[in-house]
Homo-oligomer: A and B are copies of this chain.
């Protein structure tokens, strides 16, 4: 069972875990990752604006979820990604992977966020505190992280 959502609103991680595990006592572990808008003194961003390709996004996320479910025999999987304008500290993405044991749950969680970062059609634009806007460049380390699951 996968839950795939793209939304402007914030998500409730506790409620999503409850939804994922409801009535499933065969689950032994849930791995989770929450990505947040990061602002530091060295890189003081004022906001992040997330754009996506609506007709493709949920399809791409569902493919990634299906791949993880098959590889790690997941008992459930949740991918929620926000779009629109987000402020520092706000959550961007939620990944949940439920499995019988922790090894599968945690490996699948890492896989899901690695693939999501390289195989789902989202783009981030940063607004700096001085008002300057820049599209975020893809990181080579993200490609390397995704490649280890090939």
Contact = CB atoms under 8 A, between A and B. Distances in A.
Interface of A: 12-15, 17, 21, 23-40, 88-89, 100, 102-103, 105-106, 109-110, 113, 141, 145
Contacts of A23: 89
Nearest to A22: B89
Contacts of A24: 89
The binding surface of chain A is classed by DSSP as mixed
A102 B33 contact: yes
Contact of A27 (B15, B25, B38): B38
B28 A38 contact: yes
A88 B23 CA distance: 10
B36 A21 contact: yes
Given A14-B14, A103-B145, A88 B25 contact: yes
Contacts of A37: 25
A30 B36 contact: yes
A28 B102 CA distance: 23
B25 A29 contact: no
A73 to B, nearest CB: 13
B36 A28 contact: yes
Given A25-B36, A33-B105, 4 more contacts: A12-B14, A30-B34, A33-B106, A102-B113
A92 to B, nearest CB: 9
Nearest to A41: B26
